[in-house]
Amino acid sequence: MLLGRVAELNYLNSCYDRDGSQILVVYGQKYIGKTALVKEFMQDKPNYYYLARACSEREQAYQWGRQLIMDGYSADEFPSFHDIFAKIAHRNSGKTVLVIDEFQHIVKVSDRFMKELISFVHSQWNRDDVMIILCSSSIGWIENSMITRIGEAAYELSGFLKIREMPFEDIVQRFPNFRIEECVEAYAILGGIPGLWNQFDDRLTIQQNICRNILDSGSFLFEEGERMLTEQLREPSVYNTIMASIAAGNYKLNDLYLHTEFSRAKISVYLKNLIELELVEKVFSYDTAGKENVQKGIYRISHPFVDFYYTYMYPHMSDLQTLSVGEFCNRYVMPDFRKYVARYFKQVCRQHLAKLNDRHRLPIELDSIGEWIGKMGALDIIAQDEEGHTLIGLCNWERPMTYEDYENLLIYAKKARINADYIYMYTAFRFDEKLNLEAKIKTNLKLVQITDL
């Protein structure tokens, strides 16, 4: 059975159960699980699946025609798209599901594809209905270019389903042999992307997985971090430079300008493209009255595995080729790995808080959750309800939580000019005695250990 994705499956089934034919667009990052989802959905229904190639329109017709023949259909050597659709639909009785994966490869080179698809769907009025699912891993193209490319055909689309990363709780289910700390570390490397999870083995330690399944030149993931850029973007030298600079700690536009010596205008354009691909994010602090103390214009690598690649592998390519994987891991990865994981632990804590909120297990009904990034210090969690009641939080992955951390948190809240009604403190270790005592006295202070996640 497919792990998670209950809401997505329910949505597809509800569309299928509607009267008439539909054309849906299902899209998301590479390895996010689009194909697994649609295969799970269509397995008990009349169906046909085709993976489009990046090739000319004529070659696409040839390849699809060959596949039809191998699947037992009769087809011309270069069938038209309309003929292909008709043969698939007419073989089955009942509502047929036709999945065209990576369909952008066809649309980018063919003006006829969408016209013939829509013509085919409309011609089915006196026959069985069809459900067309157009899948794509090209997020930026779907969200920014597709409508312009297909024109009026966009009015014929029945809906969009964006497949998003899976939450931390699902990686815990996926790796039952990992301790909770190891699940956080795996999440910091692989994110919520099920296709990458398949490359890890929970019978090994995290360090063993890093060595065997990432750093080893024969492993699937060895070059995948850079490949995620080069498959979708031209000018890899520019993008590599920007990504490596961000990974090295240059989070602001001016810092990137000083490091790369690219113009600010050029950097902004390339950052925009990276953001559209969900490889980089521009981080905005939660809006508070303390605007004078907040950092603005912060950029981060948002894809965990790409972040891991540019943090640890890209800067040390020479040693990656000459050292053993164990030597490389001990020299470059493990010394500051806890610091690397800390940022993703904050994401896990915010997800935990959001889950508690969904289950109505918080003192207030949160309307929004974010973070506040100050010039000196930060609030890892800041959340409010519709009446303005505020919850703040601190997440500590690297060391035990102390009463001094609690005091600093209150100082940062003052800099943000907010009054905290509730305080949540998360740690991967333990809380000191004074802080535990404070939590017994203060009813608005909640201490959460990693095992509670």
Question: What confidence tens digit (pLDDT) does each residue in 360-404 have?
Answer: 999 999 998 999 988 888 899 999 999 999 999 999 999 999 999
CA distance 377 to 294: 9
Measured N-to-C along each axis, helices 403-415 and 433-441 cross at an angle, to the nearest 10 degrees, of 60
pLDDT at 337 over 70: yes
Model pLDDT, residue 123: 77
* Location of each CATH 3.40.50.300 domain in the chain: 6-163
Quickly state the pLDDT bin for 16 (edges 50, 70, 90): very high
Q: What is the mean pLDDT of residues 326-348?
A: 96
Model pLDDT, residue 2: 65
More confidently predicted of 39 and 287: 39
pLDDT in tens, 200-229: 999 999 999 999 999 999 999 999 998 988
The model's pTM: 0.91
More confidently predicted of 330 and 228: 330
Contact 394, 381 (CB under 8 A): yes
First to last CA, the chain: 24
Model pLDDT, residue 442: 95
Find all residues with CB under 8 Å of 94, minimum gap 6, and list them: 45, 46, 128
* Location of each CATH 3.40.1350.10 domain in the chain: 341-452
The class level of CATH for 6-163 reads alpha beta
Model pLDDT, residue 127: 67
Model pLDDT, residue 124: 59
pLDDT at 289 over 80: no
Q: What is the mean pLDDT of residues 64-88?
A: 91
Burial label for 309, CB within 10 Å (0-12, 13-18, 19+), is buried
Topology adopted by domain 223-322: Arc Repressor Mutant, subunit A (1.10.10)
Quickly state the pLDDT bin for 70 (edges 50, 70, 90): very high
In this structure, the number of other CB atoms found within 10 A of the CB of residue 236 comes to 13
Model pLDDT, residue 285: 82
Burial label for 271, CB within 10 Å (0-12, 13-18, 19+), is buried
Model pLDDT, residue 84: 92
Q: What is the mean pLDDT of residues 258-286?
A: 94
DSSP string, 318-369: HHHHHS-HHHHIIIIIGGGHHHHHHHHHHHHHHHHHHHHHHTT-SSS--SEE
Handedness of CA 71, 72, 78, 81 (dihedral sign): negative
* Location of each CATH 1.10.10.10 domain in the chain: 223-322
Residue burial 184-202, b: 16+ Cβ < 10 Å; e: rest? bbbbbbbbbbbebbebbeb
pLDDT in tens, 148-200: 999 999 999 999 999 999 999 999 999 999 999 999 999 999 999 999 999 99
355 to each of 100, 166, 358, 370, how far by Cα in Å? 35, 13, 5, 14
Q: What is the mean pLDDT of residues 29-48?
A: 93
With pLDDT > 70 as the criterion, what percentage of the chain qualifies? 98
CA distance 124 to 120: 7
Q: State the Rg of the chain over Cα.
A: 25
In CATH, the number for domain 341-452 is 3.40.1350.10
Quickly state the pLDDT bin for 414 (edges 50, 70, 90): very high
CA distance 38 to 429: 41
